[in-house]
A and B are shown apart, each in its own frame.
Chain A
Amino acid sequence: MNCEVAHERIVLAVWGELADEQVHELERHLAICPECGREREHVKALQTLASAHAVLEPDANLVARAHMRLDEALDALPAKSFVEQLLARLSGGFNGLKAAPLAAALLLVAGVCGGAAGGYQMAVHRIAHAAPTQPAALQMAALPQESNPAIKPIQSAATPEMDKVANISEIVEVPNSRMVEVRYNQMVPQQVRGSLDDPAIQRLVTLGSQRAASDGVRYNSVGLLAAECRAGRGCNAPGVRNALMMALRYGQDEQVREKALVGLEPLVAQDIQVRNAILETLMNDSDPRIRTISISILEPVEGDTSVREVLYTVSTQDENPQIRDVSRQVLNRLPEIQ
């Protein structure tokens, strides 16, 4: 290795960018070349020197001010016109040209399906014209059996498309049964009725925790999910655990947070994410009652280092004397349990 190459590698080595084998090679060169040794000292000195121009962390006021300004600017942005949206889509499509073969195949399949559906519709239309009494009979058969035609049991054909659900407006339990009525809004308000064992109903109830039209609905949704979870039925359904954790972390209403917390209890032993969410609640929740419940829920896993650490922090530093006492009691019992 000549000195010119060595000088370049010294810079990379000082900033930790040199591959291991090259570091070894460089060390061998430095052992026999005092001039390059001095060069390395100089570069190291520069590195130390440069650190005197320290990086300042932006203060919280600056971050908040910048964020607020950005929010205002985003609010002031005009909604995209149809042409702009179209252009954006086209440009997106252009960028996605790599997927053109797949897109072509999908288009072909869509075309074939569309053609088949069109043919079927035409055939049905012709039959309708050929036998005018038949549609009435069909229509009668299609009428729902319920006395209230607006309330219909969920069937596979009537399952709402979740991404079109605007919000969940009401969840009503049918007493002494496992039936619930979930009212939700799409383009027009709709409602469905079905068992909590029905995945579609479960999804709607779960959605109620995030897109509820009112706090009451959110409370009902979280309450139902929590009850199902505690009964060992619903925790594994998609989104349930997540919905409860969201409600626990970000729920505005303390009753909702409490329900979510209690619902997550069966998961605390085996699920570290749930445990983390409960630890956050213990540290940060504004309601002392919820924090006290968190401590009792965490008891079975207090052997966990992070749980112990949080309990210790709370028992020594918390403003609330009751929380300090409870967490200290739990901590004191720990050796006996172990």
Chain B
Amino acid sequence: MATDVAECPISAMQKPAPFVWHGRRVESSAGMAATRAMDETGGKLSAEERERQLMRAQEAELIRAAQAGSRTAFDALVRQYEHQVLRLALHLTGSEHEAEDIYQEAFLKAFRYLGNFRFECSFYTWIYRIVTNLCLDQMRRRKTRREDAAVIVDHSGDEIDVLAAVSDNRSFSNPARELERKALGERIAAALEKLTPREKMVFELKHYQGLRLRTIGEMLNTTEETAKNTLFRATKKLRAQLAELR
């Protein structure tokens, strides 16, 4: 398992770190220095690009500090990514318990193997690779005991209907439509469960998480071409499953 958290594809080096998280900002001298250096050299970067570079520099500093053993720095990294990790795990597993377990295992693994991170790809790709691997393992295990993914089991053991919890401005005034929407969602969840874990993962990362196929390929340790083929297969299967709904 160590290898899947230690290596990054070289092609990922050019990928900008997609810092779109809702995490708190951590100021760092390196980041400030990077910005100042750019200003001083008269770089004509856009404010957005400057912001991104600053965040990348801050993140690199956090990673180095965490590699040197700083728990505070590691905690800051966790806070930057935890929301996305939970969102992905929750949608893929449909269970708060399982999402929590995946979160826990992913960050413990990240903590253990952070020393192997060599900045050859973005930290974002690296942590997502750990999470997707854990989710794939989980889905493979679940293949034998299919569950209704539209129902989430919460912390207290109660079942929450995912689709009922989806906010829809139109639905409160139209219960019939809400029911219809709920049934539809259940059908889709069931159709997604029938895909292979890898197909489901590619579809999830592409459609629900909005990632590029190139990034998905890197996260799943494969090529963009393979990711394209997997998406094509997943689409075909889903269409067959949901044919009568159209």
Contacts and interface: CB of A to CB of B under 8 A. Distances in A.
B102 to A, nearest CB: 9
B82 A67 contact: yes
A308 B44 CA distance: 26
Contacts of A45: 246
A242 B107 contact: no
B83 A95 contact: no
A66 interface: yes
A69 interface: yes
Interface residues of A, number: 47
B18 interface: no
Interface string B64-89: 00000001001100110011001100
Q: Chain B binding site: helix, strand, loop or mixed by DSSP? A: helix
A244 to B, nearest CB: 10
Interface stretch (B29-37, B125-133, B134-142): B29-37
A52 B184 contact: yes
Contact of A62 (B29, B32, B86, B206): B86
Contacts of B33: 238
Interface string B161-200: 0110110000000000000010011001100100000000
B83 A58 contact: yes
A3 interface: no
Contacts of A132: none
Given A74-B71, A245-B27, A46 B212 contact: no
Nearest to A98: B118
B246 A56 contact: no
Given A66-B82, A239-B29, A241-B32, A96 B87 contact: no
Nearest to B47: A272
Interface in A60-78: 61-63, 65-67, 69-71, 73-74, 77
A66 B100 contact: yes
A273 B213 CA distance: 34
Contacts of B103: 66, 70
B104 interface: yes
Interface string B229-246: 001100100110010011
Interface stretch (A11-19, A102-110, A117-125, A322-330): A11-19
A238 B29 contact: yes
Given A95-B118, A96-B118, A273-B35, A50 B232 contact: no
B111 interface: yes
A54 interface: yes
A62 B154 CA distance: 9
Given A17-B213, A241-B32, A55 B91 contact: yes
Contacts of A73: 104, 108
How many interface residues does chain B have, given as a range? 35 or more
B216 to A, nearest CB: 10
Given A50-B238, A62-B86, A242-B29, A70 B107 contact: yes
A26 to B, nearest CB: 14
A53 B108 contact: no
A42 to B, nearest CB: 6
Interface string A109-147: 000000000000000000000000000000000000000
Contacts of B90: 56, 58, 62
B15 interface: no
Interface string A264-289: 00000000110001000000000000
B59 interface: no
A151 interface: no
Contacts of A91: 115-116
B185 A69 contact: no
Contact of B188 (A52, A92, A249): A52
B146 interface: no
A334 to B, nearest CB: 23
B145 interface: no
B213 A49 contact: no
Nearest to A7: B232
6 contacts: A12-B213, A12-B231, A17-B213, A53-B163, A54-B162, A56-B87
Given A52-B181, A62-B99, 16 more contacts: A17-B206, A17-B231, A52-B163, A53-B188, A55-B209, A56-B162, A56-B166, A58-B86, A62-B96, A62-B155, A69-B100, A73-B108, A74-B71, A95-B118, A238-B33, A242-B29
**What are the 10 A-B residue pairs with the smallest beta carbon separation, nearest first?**
A58-B86, A53-B188, A54-B166, A239-B29, A66-B103, A242-B32, A52-B184, A242-B29, A66-B100, A52-B185
Interface of A: 8, 11-12, 15, 17, 42-43, 45-47, 49-58, 61-63, 65-67, 69-71, 73-74, 77, 88, 91-92, 95-96, 238-239, 241-242, 245-246, 249, 272-273, 277
